[in-house]
A = this chain, B = another copy of it.
Amino acid sequence: MDFSNNKKTALSKSDKSKKGSIDIHILQLIDSINASDSYFSTSSCSGRIILIREGERKNEADWEFVSHELVEYNDLHNAIAKLADRKNVWLRFEPPIVHISCKTLEDAQKLLDISRPLFKVSGIISTQKNIVEIRSTERIDVPVEAMSEEHLKIIIDLANSKLQKGWNKINQLEKEIVKII
């Protein structure tokens, strides 16, 4: 495995994510990672507020609403009002997540050591490809069925606050990463 060739190939590919581009709030972190000879990012999300309908089977899910930015009450209220059926629909805040390919296992451990104090659910998910998954614990997972409007308001405030907290953590991690690369 030639790390620098793999990196070149990976970074030249088009963005295959649902969104099709890197979130603005994580762009500086991704740029700093990719500027290093020892690391490159393979996927990332700066955190998002979503409405998702879960299907019976795994991977069967309909996305009803997605925002990587702060949301207003009306945005979500309207999205929920449009649902034909609220059953199996979840309102979620999902925290930032980044996958990083590292040149050596030592590079992976070094990255993990600076990431885990901020992003506590981080780990090495492949020792063959030295992939580190960085993820934090903050979450909201609420079934939409029977949720009151008053409750929705409180949840939106909390989701917005967690979104901003995630951006702050991304910035802190970027500052730590530039010290080691």
Chain A interfacial positions (CB closer than 8 Å to B): 105, 108-109, 112, 116, 121-128, 133, 135, 139-143, 145-148, 150-151, 153-155, 158
Contact = CB atoms under 8 A, between A and B. Distances in A.
Q: How many copies of this chain does the complex contain?
A: 2
A141 B143 contact: no
B141 A151 contact: no
Contact of A127 (B108, B116, B141, B150): B108
Contact of A124 (B127, B145, B158): B127
Contact of A154 (B108, B141, B143, B148): B143
Contact of A123 (B122, B146, B148, B153): B122
A112 B141 contact: no
